[in-house]
Amino acid sequence: MFKYQCAGCGQAIPTSCAGCAAKIASCLPPHCDDAVVALSYEGLVRELMLGFKYNNQRAVAAMFADRLHETLRTIPEIGCIDVVTWVPTTRERRMERGHDQAETLARKLGRLLNVPVRKLLVRETVGHQTGSSRAKRLVGVSLRARKLSVPTSVLVVDDVVTTGATMRMAKQALWLAGAARVVCAAVAATPAPVQRR
Ligand SMILES: [Zn+2]
């Protein structure tokens, strides 16, 4: 027998309880130039995301994929997507957590959009990372995309966008690999830092 739980508070009910749904919905996404974003990475969204990353909570993954799907349905490009892919996490983190949270989300979104999901991006580490400056560390990770034989419209999924640098790197790599169109999407983005005067 299936047991359902609210993803927010763990109550045994069929879906998110009204209280948690309202808390999640109140985390309106910040403006983001680099990706379509469903939620702001704060409050209950942040707590649930951390739980999902480290424990692969299925109810949370489904809820986040639904939220992102709802947001994606509002953009015109979504009807043209040929393939869904994801920004891969590091091998160490995947081993540690038992799953790649971006892949889990991409697979759920592929099902919701009825579009195939393929691993197109590969994480590469270049140069040394120890003891280097922040600028060098940023250069230290790069993404490469598998060659696309036909012009393809790709949807790239990630869990959280912070600076947007990774999304821009993914977009660049996919264009170089022959993508015709790249749409980036993330469940949440970190709120813009408070402007200091
Ligand atoms: Zn709840």
- pLDDT for 48-87, tens place per residue? 999 888 887 778 898 999 999 999 999 999 999 999 999 9
Query: Which of 27-41, 51-65, 78-92, 129-143 is predicted with the least confidence, judged by mean pLDDT?
Result: 129-143
Q: How far is the CA of 63 from the centre of ligand 1 (A)?
A: 12
79: left (phi over 0), alpha (psi -120 to 50) or beta: alpha
- Answer whether 17's CB lies under 8 Å from 24's CB: no
Q: How far is the CA of 17 from the centre of ligand 1 (A)?
A: 4
- Answer whether 157's CB lies under 8 Å from 109's CB: yes
What are phi and psi for residue 157, nearest 5 degrees?
-110, 140
Q: How far is the CA of 60 from the centre of ligand 1 (A)?
A: 11
Q: Which residues does 56 contact at the CB level (< 8 Å), separation at least 6?
A: 97, 98, 99, 101, 104
Q: How many CB atoms lie within 10 A of CB 152?
A: 19
Q: How far is the CA of 46 from the centre of ligand 1 (A)?
A: 15
For helices 43-55 and 58-72, the axis angle rounded to 10 degrees is 120
Kindly list the domain boundaries of the chain, sorted by start residue.
Answer: 29-189
Q: How far is the CA of 4 from the centre of ligand 1 (A)?
A: 11
- Answer whether 172's CB lies under 8 Å from 182's CB: no
Residue whose structure tokens are 């409050």: 43
Q: How far is the CA of 2 from the centre of ligand 1 (A)?
A: 18
| CATH entry, 29-189, from 3.40.50.2020, 3.30.1330.30, 3.40.640.10, 3.40.50.620 | 3.40.50.2020
Question: Can you tell me the distance from the alpha carbon of 186 to that of 197, in angstroms, rounded to the nearest whole number?
Answer: 30
Question: Can you tell me the distance from the alpha carbon of 87 to that of 127, in angstroms, rounded to the nearest whole number?
Answer: 20
Q: What is the mean pLDDT of the chain?
A: 87
Q: How far is the CA of 95 from the centre of ligand 1 (A)?
A: 30
Q: How far is the CA of 41 from the centre of ligand 1 (A)?
A: 18
Q: How far is the CA of 84 from the centre of ligand 1 (A)?
A: 30
- pLDDT for 90-129, tens place per residue? 888 888 888 899 999 999 999 999 999 999 999 987 665 5
